[in-house]
Structure 1
């Protein structure tokens, strides 16, 4: 279970009140006569449940299985809506509970496996995986149906009413039994999780509150609702006039408890950054009053930097004992001093680890002292809020906080361990425990990670600095003027409004931080025919084609190009759908550089399964992997009209293959088209295209400021840090540099 469905909207939750049951939508014409009509109704119910309730995938494919077509869940909702009598609804719910619950055979088998492992001296990881299989077997099939219904528009409201019908049927003895009671408990648990108080936040009603929120409040207070946009400002004024203007003044404050799914601010507005002295909100800033820092990108890098710039200062705990002796001695030399004010070069000297960035290794060592050795020691840092040291800033992002994590299929699991995905002062495992979620083989799902990042911004009070829906189209250096204290940047772009319209914005900033990540532009082969309509660069295209039925097991093979994790995901998905696959990649299968050779088999069984298929199916031969063919050391040369791909084998011979679809999954590049020359002048080698792996932005390793442009910073993959646990070090270095600039800035 991850997060909540899109059925949780502001309309449903502010406040949560259900009107009397409306007339049910048109559904099947049903009769309550007990003879032939009842028999046909029973058959219709059974047929519906077989189609609508998603099957439970095999444990190994649980994270790669596509979601069922939306129409299947909608069919259930429509059919249920057409049942006019309580007895008919009770009959359907009884059949759902009885026939689509837990597979008791699987439970018995997995239980026996756990008991057997407990009696044998095996590694703890093997037992934990067996226990995870048992937990997976204990999930009833109808839970998947409820989960997917929750994603429909109004789906959660439907499930609330469904449970009300279930309780009514139990009270009237229309349906009984342990299976029904169990389903009621499962549904109750799901609804309790979605409507947990943990998703509610007390927010002050201000000038930025959406008009819809104010209408809800005024309705509850008996005030006149807002009837048009022209009355919006008067309505705001009605609610805000009674707020105190100074601390200690008695007065009435308006507030509300919004759900996480509700809009967080007035669409189309750029909020003013947090400042020591409040200023009027603005869509644009002038050259004479620039924003100190504009962060482009609202993923983990941008969120972490925003947290540090908002006045959250890291200090080493007085009684902390770091396991690294040299680092412990250095930290003791500056006891009681904020980490941002210390010499990061000196502190990070001598540290070694999985990153090339010394500050990334330092911050990681302080947050997770012995994690690389399997330890669970607590962070040696404590955090103090010092508002007077906050640096005003704005964080611009195309979507909600979390960046590209919201674009990844939510059931996918992270490559890194779950504990390494956390941000400062809020461990992911603690957040998941409060949300009653759990890790899968020590890894988190992309959906949970995206939800965590969005929740982090809210819980840490950073929302006022974040501007979702902002697409940056240009960053230019302003012409220097004598009164300027340093370089100024003009950041321009388009802002998506609440009505899906767009309007331009323009900001002046003293510093710009690039934190856009690397998932914007898929890497291309650069060969003829790559723009033909059957050649694609995203897995989502294959998912859409299988759901639409344009590609089936009877189609020509799908050609997947690449040997990374994205290509492996595509292979797993295609195999799950029964599609024939040709898998081509340029390296030999035993190349130590392949990512599969760097992943522990115990933690990543699905990827090692793909690697095994790549090795065993490198030549056509009978094997368990019918419909899959591996072509190592093959290079695509061109794609021809008529859906034909020409490949070159290791001996230089050409092969022409008929295919239904081509997926080129060989990585991605950042999109810095808003910079002059797409940012190539900032790269380590300005003569080559900018690449996060081979040619990143050249930055000072202890400030992350560009060595080629003063006032311009780069974080995360753009600077060569490709894992969340290490991007935070770049944020620490940048925050330390920006704080020093603000301290030196003349009044």
Structure 2
């Protein structure tokens, strides 16, 4: 921060850079966080008398002294009682101020004005694998957003427009946003973060230096590599903000199906383009019941290809879309509901079906020019489908299988999981008899005693999360194959004889972690230990990262680690600025 700029004389080696804050992820979450960290301060404007905002909110806002920034106010008090499409109170508050009465269809001027203050600037760096915009660059360019344009603009831009934008337009806006807000110096693209490690804190070192920009103040080491050169990248920092999104890893079916399938809409579009020029007579298979699966069906039919659509009950998200605003998705929803008797062009639904077998068929693919696609993507294959109601088996031949059953975040850079704080123990009786680990009563008592305020906050989040009804895509689409080399291992797990993952937060005892052949994947990739339910993988809809609602600090982690965006269940861009406001305000209020 700019409150103490005098050099302290402490230096680092040439391959290490110190920043007060490292932001992981350069999508909309990282962009708006950088905008606030760069010294842009929000102030409340005069509220028009005829603006129909919540009266209790109006009363609380009227008590803010003129000239006081939102960084200096009690944001939780202002957000009290607000309701909306976010589980987090400060994102709801910020949305009410940036887009007042948006849910009423009113496009009113923002109630926030931004003023640049160099004294409020916090030195930071934003790291991203690709260009600014994150996942928006991975979608097919012509796919349209669910949110209207007014919900997608980031501060300080005025929210305007009711039309849905293309993914290309949003990606372009993100690139321009960084330049327009003069944030280029804070962004470093083309970097993959591999680990976030906590640095042991020495009291003597802190006593010798009180400069907030001194490397001795570092609490974390963020390590990665440059995608182009492969060079090592290392940053020391006092705080880390995790906003890497929740769609890095596509949910897949069983391995014998997944290796023949595509899981990206952009890849499916390229494959459909190639196949449309080579062989339109071969049917294509799409698996899934949500918005992404509907996009897959639309992409195939637009290329003149026949889509065989395997789905369970259509997702609630499709059912809630208004036909006037979303005619494309509502058409797919209608075709799903019509069932086999619908007789729609280039579309055959298979309700309550799942893939049980995929067998490659030898054929000549020399005429298919698809160098950028996976080897098995366009090869001819015989697919067996099982009707889950009648148990009948149907066979068909296809060249293209697209599976869109949700996605998960990739939190592999938190793979160390701050091992002195979180210990994930794998216990599989049949896999390794000597691996049984019993929880000690003392550990439970110590955890309850030392982290009671964290438990209260997590309990509140769990109650709030239960209010939202989301479908479990893994169960809906038949992802029940968890084969293990151990005979009847799944039966043992169902009978309660195996507790696959036991999470002991803040365990001081370092016991050997046992690897179980039931799950060959690194357990830390899915963020075990960080969710509202620490025994389950982090999921932006069903099990978001547990945070302190007032600051967006991660509860089950050392101080100074923050999260926002889809990782904390804010899956709409409109709510992301509120998470950034919460954490930046917390940083200013808790200067070293």
Q: TM-score under structure 2 normalisation?
A: 0.71
* Residue 494 of structure 1: aligned partner: 225
- Mapping of residues 591-606 of structure 1, within 5 Å: 593-606=315-328
The whole-number CA distance in structure 1 between the counterparts of 2:13 and 2:6 is 15
* Residue 680 of structure 1: aligned partner: 528
Any gaps of 5 or more consecutive residues in structure 1? Answer: 1-272, 430-438
* Residue 85 of structure 1: aligned partner: none
The whole-number CA distance in structure 2 between the counterparts of 1:627 and 1:278 is 69
Counterparts in 2 of 1:608 and 1:279: CA distance versus 1, 3 Å: farther
Task: Give CA deviations for 1:196-244 in whole Å, capped at 9, x if unaligned.
Answer: xxxxxxxxxxxxxxxxxxxxxxxxxxxxxxxxxxxxxxxxxxxxxxxxx
The whole-number CA distance in structure 1 between the counterparts of 2:236 and 2:246 is 25
Task: Give CA deviations for 1:420-476 in whole Å, capped at 9, x if unaligned.
Answer: 0011111254xxxxxxxxx6x621222222222222211212111111111111111
The whole-number CA distance in structure 2 between the counterparts of 1:379 and 1:514 is 27
Counterparts in 2 of 1:470 and 1:655: CA distance versus 1, 3 Å: same
Tell me if 1:473 matches 2:194.
yes
Q: CA deviation at 1:274?
A: 8.6
- Mapping of residues 69-148 of structure 1, within 5 Å: none
Match 2:352 to one of 619, 626, 633: 633
Q: CA deviation at 1:504?
A: 0.9
- Mapping of residues 191-590 of structure 1, within 5 Å: 277=5, 290-318=18-46, 320-321=48-49, 323-336=53-66, 337-427=68-158, 429=160, 442-483=163-204, 488-496=219-227, 500-525=228-253, 527-532=254-259, 534-549=260-275, 552-587=278-313, 589=314
Given that 1:555 and 1:660 are in contact with CA atoms closer than 8 Å, whether structure 2 keeps it comes out as no
The whole-number CA distance in structure 1 between the counterparts of 2:325 and 2:124 is 40
Q: CA deviation at 1:554?
A: 4.1
Tell me if 1:729 matches 2:578.
yes
Given that 1:553 and 1:577 are in contact with CA atoms closer than 8 Å, whether structure 2 keeps it comes out as no
Q: CA deviation at 1:333?
A: 1.0
Q: CA deviation at 1:539?
A: 2.5
Question: Matched residue of 1:509: which SS?
Answer: strand
Counterparts in 2 of 1:287 and 1:366: CA distance versus 1, 3 Å: farther
* Residue 392 of structure 2: aligned partner: 653
Q: CA deviation at 1:620?
A: 5.4
Given that 1:492 and 1:506 are in contact with CA atoms closer than 8 Å, whether structure 2 keeps it comes out as yes
Match 1:690 to one of 531, 534, 538: 538
The whole-number CA distance in structure 1 between the counterparts of 2:48 and 2:12 is 46
Structure 1: 4+ residue segments shifted above 6 A: 273-276, 283-289
Given that 2:39 and 2:122 are in contact with CA atoms closer than 8 Å, whether structure 1 keeps it comes out as yes
The whole-number CA distance in structure 1 between the counterparts of 2:3 and 2:301 is 54
The whole-number CA distance in structure 1 between the counterparts of 2:22 and 2:542 is 27
Counterparts in 2 of 1:477 and 1:557: CA distance versus 1, 3 Å: same
* Residue 259 of structure 1: aligned partner: none
* Residue 740 of structure 1: aligned partner: 589
Given that 1:397 and 1:468 are in contact with CA atoms closer than 8 Å, whether structure 2 keeps it comes out as yes
* Residue 609 of structure 1: aligned partner: 331
Range with greater deviation from structure 2 (645-654 or 419-428)? 645-654
The whole-number CA distance in structure 2 between the counterparts of 1:279 and 1:487 is 16
Given that 1:294 and 1:513 are in contact with CA atoms closer than 8 Å, whether structure 2 keeps it comes out as yes
Q: CA deviation at 1:320?
A: 4.8
Q: CA deviation at 1:530?
A: 2.2
Counterparts in 2 of 1:288 and 1:559: CA distance versus 1, 3 Å: closer
Question: Matched residue of 1:696: which SS?
Answer: coil
Match 1:666 to one of 405, 413, 425: 405
* Residue 458 of structure 2: aligned partner: none
The whole-number CA distance in structure 2 between the counterparts of 1:601 and 1:721 is 25
Counterparts in 2 of 1:714 and 1:515: CA distance versus 1, 3 Å: same
Question: Matched residue of 2:412: which SS?
Answer: coil
RMSD: 2.6
Match 1:644 to one of 378, 382, 397: 382
Given that 2:76 and 2:550 are in contact with CA atoms closer than 8 Å, whether structure 1 keeps it comes out as yes
Counterparts in 2 of 1:290 and 1:275: CA distance versus 1, 3 Å: farther
The whole-number CA distance in structure 2 between the counterparts of 1:465 and 1:718 is 22
The whole-number CA distance in structure 2 between the counterparts of 1:407 and 1:276 is 41
Q: CA deviation at 1:290?
A: 3.7
Given that 2:276 and 2:305 are in contact with CA atoms closer than 8 Å, whether structure 1 keeps it comes out as no
Q: CA deviation at 1:524?
A: 0.9
Given that 1:715 and 1:721 are in contact with CA atoms closer than 8 Å, whether structure 2 keeps it comes out as yes
Richer in helix (by share)? 1
Given that 2:280 and 2:304 are in contact with CA atoms closer than 8 Å, whether structure 1 keeps it comes out as no
The whole-number CA distance in structure 2 between the counterparts of 1:285 and 1:279 is 16
The whole-number CA distance in structure 2 between the counterparts of 1:447 and 1:274 is 37
Q: CA deviation at 1:626?
A: 3.4
Counting matched residue pairs gives 447
Counterparts in 2 of 1:585 and 1:551: CA distance versus 1, 3 Å: farther
Counterparts in 2 of 1:329 and 1:531: CA distance versus 1, 3 Å: closer
The whole-number CA distance in structure 2 between the counterparts of 1:648 and 1:569 is 24
The whole-number CA distance in structure 2 between the counterparts of 1:286 and 1:703 is 34
Pick the structure with greater CA Rg. Answer: 1
Question: Matched residue of 2:305: which SS?
Answer: coil
* Residue 433 of structure 2: aligned partner: none
The whole-number CA distance in structure 2 between the counterparts of 1:285 and 1:297 is 25
Q: CA deviation at 1:651?
A: 2.6
The whole-number CA distance in structure 2 between the counterparts of 1:555 and 1:276 is 69
Q: CA deviation at 1:284?
A: 7.6
The whole-number CA distance in structure 2 between the counterparts of 1:608 and 1:424 is 32
The whole-number CA distance in structure 2 between the counterparts of 1:378 and 1:554 is 50
Given that 1:699 and 1:707 are in contact with CA atoms closer than 8 Å, whether structure 2 keeps it comes out as yes
The whole-number CA distance in structure 2 between the counterparts of 1:278 and 1:397 is 30
Q: CA deviation at 1:359?
A: 0.7
Any gaps of 5 or more consecutive residues in structure 2? Answer: 207-216, 362-380, 416-523
